A and B are shown apart, each in its own frame.
Chain A
């Protein structure tokens, strides 16, 4: 770093000039060794302060920063922003190339692009549906195999004695299956862990989570989900469908796979973040729709959780994708189940029909439902708080992949053990006749009866949920349900956040259904068997309340539940329950997904700036000094700036390269690191152009071909001679970047940034000179905490 500064000799001279004049052109220079983030030793701001603000204090600060070379280390906590995450470029770089291309496309061609969008959406729907089918069928068969083996074993040992072997068998089976599932996630693609909903939420918010929409992630996710569900963990396969759908969408819309190194040369128009984001939100919707058989719910999910950028055409397209997805799932599953074209099994989880007489509800029940919402909110908050501590512990101490795998195995073994012990201790026997139990375990029950605890534990969670909803009254003892709720609550809480791909939807529904059913039973006991106290209905409401209390979704969850039950009349009570659960839960802690986003130190931008932030202005928010480039810049300088490891900037304001330093050198445009890399790679240098060495002009296609994995600067070789060449940026930079004056308030900056999906926002002074730069991390670090406005610190993770 230091020798760079020495070599670039003119920079020092320029600085002297600037200081003399008191006005400056922000320049690209080497930096002093002390500055951790920025290269520029001399920039407008510092000089501005020197010349017209409080001199002493600023100098003092500069000095205190220098000795602080060794950065301080702190344990991971929630008040951090990771440097790992970068923004996506949702704002098109409107450079000359782009404008030329757009002008070339005539009206008819735009129509083709529009048709292509629809085709892509249809393909997203179909593929997402197929993936959902695949997961469903494989899970059904593998889990069936496992439960049959264990059941035969238990049956054998019940007569002869030696049930501890069955326990060992069950625990070992679970642990080994989960071990494989956890290993592929921990060692191959850690981003596939969890449900993927927080990651997709971040992606749609504009944060680039590394690897999140790669084909490899999809493969690992799908296999991981299958293995963790088969491994008997307290997880569901619904949440990961959303992630899978998004990856599929991102893959298809690009018409190529970088992982497979195949380029189909189609859909090249969509190779940029803006277009990709729209398709990813369609993919997320298709995923929800495949998971729950809820196309409208999927669209609303995308709207509520994901898409920060929305318009009507997009809504319609997304709806199309989710309809196609649920239809595909329907048709394939109907063929698989042997009744082809009977399109009546929508969704991976089907809550079954709730349309019998006694499933209706009356006005007297509304307060009861609201009370259930309150309970759900409190339990959800408890769940989230426990999970918070656990996740913090995991981030701090269990960060090595092998430890993560061991932890997942232990959880699997303990889940099996808890299930076994519960079944072993339960004396709740129900007659086998007329019940539709998949794997009836007799154990200590009389012949012809089955253990009712086993229907809850000895089954995949999805089936257990449906059983709780629909088994006739009297199928479960209150004692059984109570113990089940308690145990499953802790198991699910413990499981979420493990290094396996798994969702939290089904476990939440299961916990809620169990206590909801318990609630219904005790209600009918208290009211001496009133007609309206059907436990199945309360199980549904409890499930809604618990899920709402944990994930805090409202609109989309109401519609998803409504569609999954196929009963519109339940809309009102479900809405009430979810609303109450959210209000009560928000009083204590935030939702599970937001919590995990925060724990991952992601710079996530919410809808609004924190309410008490009006006193802050862009001047305090921005990062400064800014590394700028001149319009015609020396290649060596560019390479040095890009390869400086201490400052990983991605956008550089371009200023006028005026030899006459007395003039104001205002902001001319903005150029991105990715563009610079492409320019360097193709060696678009002024000298070469003059010598007619360049065969052709660089086109927008060259930039697209490199998207989204631009090579790192280290892989680009620039010879010593070439370093002395000049590079003309005027054609490639975005000549009209968004700017704000220094006095703009934080909410105003925030609004601009959030609404337009910006990545860089340049702060200029009255003379259009670059003063600072606002990026996502500058805005995201302000957060409304318990004691008012908090500021998060940046950290390397």
Chain B
């Protein structure tokens, strides 16, 4: 009923959204629903930037058209004003802010092209390599799928080492590039997709497969460190034994020495 009332165009007091504004709002609502769905579906494993940059861009455009829309020329029927700022809640603004913040926090701009149409080349390359190493993992695991004894991943480690190292190097390279280019603290991170992908791979590699077993050379380290720690003892002992102790020459001050004098004088003077 209310819908009808509104569309009937009540005269005077009841404020009413102009048709073009209403369509803008509807478009925004749909766009945000699409983006929310996209974000939610791609939350784990994180594929936000790859999958949702389209909806995000559209939503941005829709919001922009609301903000820019002047409506029916007259000041009072301005779409931007009536949609964005006429109530306390300002839900459209809140929504768009939320999406913007999420996008910034994910640092998606980092792995998109400058015009944010599609992924940048380096990201593509990285994801390629990532997929390759995942397939490599899978492939090698299938070979020994029957006995999944936790420590027997040597096959994987041996066969996929090359891809993994490449992936790791590329990631480090990207990170370094990013650090050099970026000024503010925020852009020190790569985009969340890349970070998460690397994270997953690293975890698989060193936790699950236990591949990165660094050579631990405890004995040389102990030897060298105990040698260095031993040096000060030698130094202090030798300087204690051989260095000539610094002597101070006492100077005798010229003063009235005995208290008897003092008492005498005091008596005399008083």
A residues at B contact (CB < 8 Å):
35-38, 45, 49, 52-54, 57-58, 61, 65, 68, 71-76, 80, 83, 158-164, 167-168, 171, 338, 393, 395-400, 403, 406-407, 410-411, 413-414, 417-418, 420-421, 424, 433, 436, 443-444, 446-448, 617, 619-620, 622-625, 742-743, 778, 793-797
Contacts and interface: CB of A to CB of B under 8 A. Distances in A.
A652 to B, nearest CB: 15
Given A71-B251, A159-B215, A161-B215, A53 B261 contact: yes
Nearest to A82: B248
B252 A71 contact: yes
Contacts of A794: 250-253
Contact of B225 (A75, A397, A403, A420): A420
A396 B245 contact: yes
B111 to A, nearest CB: 16
A399 B245 CA distance: 9
Interface stretch (B92-100, B120-128, B227-235): B227-235
Contacts of A743: 266, 269
B256 A624 contact: yes
Interface string B246-260: 111111111111111
Given A448-B198, A619-B256, 10 more contacts: A83-B251, A161-B215, A164-B220, A167-B225, A338-B183, A444-B214, A619-B262, A620-B262, A794-B252, A797-B248
What are the 9 tightest A-B residue pairs by CB atom distance, in nearest-first order? Answer: A161-B215, A164-B220, A447-B202, A446-B206, A448-B202, A795-B248, A73-B247, A794-B251, A796-B249
A689 B146 CA distance: 117
Nearest to B164: A447
A406 to B, nearest CB: 6
B243 A403 contact: yes
A71 B201 CA distance: 79
Contacts of B185: 436
B215 A74 contact: no
B260 A54 contact: yes
Contacts of B239: 397-398, 403
Given A52-B268, A406-B235, A446-B206, A73 B253 contact: no
Contacts of A54: 258, 260-261, 264
Contacts of A45: 256
Given A53-B265, A54-B261, A743-B266, A446 B203 contact: yes
B240 A397 contact: yes
Given A400-B243, A410-B231, A743-B266, A68 B252 contact: yes
Range for the number of chain B residues in contact with chain A: 35 or more
A795 B225 contact: no
A414 B232 contact: yes
Contacts of B223: 164
Given A414-B229, A793-B250, A797-B248, A167 B224 contact: yes
Nearest to B218: A424
Contacts of B214: 158-159, 161, 443-444
A417 B225 contact: yes
B48 to A, nearest CB: 15
B96 to A, nearest CB: 26
Nearest to A621: B255
B43 to A, nearest CB: 16
8 contacts: A45-B256, A57-B260, A73-B248, A76-B247, A158-B214, A436-B188, A624-B256, A794-B253
Contacts of A424: 221
